[in-house]
Amino acid sequence: MSDDKELNPVRLWREWFVKSEKAWSQAMTDMMGDERFSKGMGRYMQEALHTHRMFSESMAQYLANLNLPSRQDILDLSDRMGQVEDALAAVQVELRELRTRIAQGVSAAPASSERPKPARTKRPPEIS
Amino acid sequence: MASRRAPAARPPAAPEIPQEEIDRQVQRAVERTLARNIPGLRMPAPDLDLDVGQTPKELVYARDTLRLYHYKPMLDEIYRVPLLVIMSPVAKGYILDLAPGQSLIEYLVLQGYDVYMVDWIAPRREHAALGIEAFVSGMIDEAIERVAADAGEREVTLVGYCMGGLLSCLHAALNPKSGLKNLVCFTTPINADGMTLYKQWVNSRAFDIDRLVEELGVIPGEMINASIQALRPFQRSANQLQLLNNVDNDAFVKANLRFDRWAADQLPLPGELMREFVREFLRGNKLITGDFHVGDNVVDLGKIRVPFLHVAAEYDHIVPTAASRDLIGLVGSKDKQEIVVKGGHVSLVAGGNAVYRLWPQLDRWLAPRSV
C-alpha cells in the first residue's frame, strides 16, 4: 500500500487537494461575500422564484390536461401522509402513557418486559 | 495375434450448465475475491440505514414539528435532574446518536443521566407560520413541562445544539423561573457580525426574504444545505477524495458515509422562523443590541441565572467562534464556563475527537449539577 501511495500520482493529487481545500474554499467564500455577488445572487433568486411560479402554474394546467399529477398534488399527498404520521405519533404517546399507568397500578408485579424505574439517587464520582 | 482392444469408454457427457449459472458463479467468485482483498469494496452503505439512532427510545410527546423522545435508562441508579437535548430545527437528531460507541446520547445514558431529546420533523405547509415564539414559548416550553412530569422532577437541564442552543437561550431568558436547573449550549450563534457571508447576503437589497417566504412557505432543506455548503464550497469534494484515499479502511468509510448522509439530510425550515431569524438575528443582530423580540417580550440574556456552560469549536466554519464567543459575557449566571475545543461544528459533538475531548468534560461539568 505504501508503494502505491508513493507512486500513485492521482492519490498524491487527491492528498494535495484535501490539504489545500481550506484555502480554495476560503477564496471562493471571499468571492461570494462580495457586494456584487450578493446583489447578483439576490436578483437570481427573485428571477428563479418568478420563473418557478410561472412554470408551475403553466405546468399544472398541462399536467391536468394529461391526467397526470402535478407537484401540488404530490405536496397534498405528502401533507396527508404527514397528518397520518402525526396521528400515529399521538397513538404511540397514548400507548406509552397507558403502559405507564398500568405499570403504576400494578407496581407490585411490574410487567416482565418493563424495566423497573431506576432510583434518581446517583451521586457524581469522588474526584481524587 | 492381434490383441483386441476394448473399445475406449466414452467420457461421460459434461452436464449442461446454463449460461446464467456460470455468470452467477463467476460474479460470486469475483465478489468474494474483491471482498477478501479490498475491504472498502464491501459496500457498507446498505446497512448504514440501520445503524443510526440505535439507543433505545420512546416517543413521549408530539406536537407540530416537535417530537420528544425519552432514552431508556440503562443503569439502576440515575442522576436526579433529567437532561433535555434541543436539536437545531434544520438538523436531524441522529448526529448525537450515530452508532453504538459513537453516540453522545448513549454515553450520557451510560453515565447515568436521564436523557430526553427534542427532535424535529420536516415542516409541512401547515407549519409555515411557526415562528420563533411558537418554538420558544410554545413547543419547547411544553416539552420542558412534559419532561418534568414524565421524570417526576421539577427541574430540568437544557442542552441546546447550534440553533437549538439559540432557542434554549431565548427560552431560558424569557422564563427565568421555569424550573431550569442548568443550561448547556453547543456552538450557539449569538452575534451575527461573526457570520460574515450570511450577513452580507441578507443585507443586500436584492435579497427579499418576504418574497421568498410568501412564494415557498417552507424553505426547502436543499436550500439550507446549499447555504451551508457555500461556507466551505470544496469541503464536500475534499471529503469524497479523502474517502477514496481511505477506501481500504472500513471504519473510516463507514464513519465518513454516516457523516455525509447526515450532512445532506437537512430539514426544511418553516418560512416564518426563517423570516424572523433573518430580520431579528442576521440583519438586526438584536441579541447584541438588546432589542430581540419574541412576541411582545424583549429578550435579555442577562436574566439567565442558572449554571451555564458554552462549548465552542475552534475550527467551526458554520458558527465561527466570532459568532458565539459573546454568549458567555451576556449570560447573567454567576456559575458559568466556556470550553473551546479543537474541531469543527459537527466533530465537536460526534466522532473520535468528541469521544475523548468533549464528552468527558461535559460529564464532569454536568454530574455535580445534576443531583
pLDDT in tens, B142-154: 999 999 999 999 9
The predicted model gives B62-69 an average pLDDT of: 95
Least trusted range by pLDDT, from B25-39, B159-173, B227-241, B353-367: B25-39
Which residues in A lie closer than 8 A to residue B126 (C-beta atoms)?
79
Q: With contact defined as beta carbons under 8 Å apart, do B159 and B85 qualify?
A: yes
* CB pair distance less than 8 Å for A14 and B245: yes
* CB pair distance less than 8 Å for B242 and A14: yes
CA distance B15 to A27: 67
In this prediction, residue A2 carries a pLDDT of 45
Supply the pTM of this predicted model. 0.83
* CB pair distance less than 8 Å for B367 and A124: yes
Predicted confidence band at A3 (pLDDT cuts at 50, 70, 90)? very low
pLDDT in tens, B291-324: 999 989 999 999 999 999 999 999 888 999 999 9
Instruction: Please provide the average confidence, as pLDDT, over all residues in chain B.
Output: 87
Find where cell 487537494 sits. A17
- Residue to substitute from B147, B201, B228, B274, interface A, most A β-carbons within 10 A: B201
In this prediction, residue B7 carries a pLDDT of 56
pLDDT in tens, B82-96: 999 999 999 999 999
pLDDT in tens, B226-277: 888 888 888 888 888 888 888 878 878 888 888 888 888 889 999 999 999 9
Give the strand pairing for B293-294 and B297-298: antiparallel
Q: With contact defined as beta carbons under 8 Å apart, do B238 and B321 qualify?
A: no
ipTM strictly over 0.85? no
Domain B45-369 listed as CATH 3.20.19.10:
no
In the predicted model, is pLDDT for residue B37 greater than 50? yes
Three-state DSSP class for residue A119: strand
Catalytic residue (one of B159, B162, B172, B348): B162
Closest CA to B86 of B157, B177, B190: B157
The predicted model gives B340-367 an average pLDDT of: 89
Domains in chain B: boundaries: 45-369
pLDDT in tens, A59-69: 888 898 889 98
In the predicted model, is pLDDT for residue B43 greater than 60? no
Q: With contact defined as beta carbons under 8 Å apart, do B116 and B87 qualify?
A: no
In this prediction, residue A85 carries a pLDDT of 93
In this prediction, residue B240 carries a pLDDT of 85
Predicted confidence band at B10 (pLDDT cuts at 50, 70, 90)? low
pLDDT in tens, B95-129: 999 888 889 999 999 999 999 999 999 999 999 99
Closest-CA distance, B295 to chain A, in angstroms, reads 27
In this prediction, residue B236 carries a pLDDT of 84
* CB pair distance less than 8 Å for B206 and A96: no
DSSP A105: H
The proportion of chain B whose per-residue pLDDT surpasses 90, expressed as a percent, equals 60
Which residues in A lie closer than 8 A to residue B234 (C-beta atoms)?
17, 21, 24-25, 28
Closest CA to B72 of A113, A94, A106: A113
Active site residue B162: yes
| Cα A30-A32-A36 angle, rounded to 5 deg | 110
Predicted confidence band at B2 (pLDDT cuts at 50, 70, 90)? very low
A69 touches chain B (CB under 8 A): no
